[in-house]
Amino acid sequence: MDQRPLDALNKAKGKPVYLVLKNGREITGTLQALDIHLNMWLENAEVTFEDKKSSYGDLLVRGDSIVLASPANQ
């Protein structure tokens, strides 16, 4: 296993990412930091939940809430 999934995601640092959480929340933001638990620190994040949007200058997302993570600007 020469490459690791989290290293691949880590290359998106400084770039926009799109997250899907366990409870259905969807989040976009610029990935600033990532740890081995998949905790993430986002800048200019927008959270969409049940058709309601909230914006955050900085946002920590707990890793064990995350199901999917994708570089957003593809």
Can you give the binding site for its own copies, defined by CB under 8 A? 1, 3-10, 21-23, 25, 32-35, 38-41, 45, 47, 56-71, 74
Contact 40, 65 (CB under 8 A): no
Which residue, 51 or 74, has its beta carbon nearer to its own copies?
74
Contact 16, 72 (CB under 8 A): yes
Which residue, 9 or 28, has its beta carbon nearer to its own copies?
9
Least Å from the CB of residue 9 to its own copies: 5
Cα 6 from Cα 43, distance rounded (Å): 19
Cα 18 from Cα 27, distance rounded (Å): 6
Least Å from the CB of residue 72 to its own copies: 9
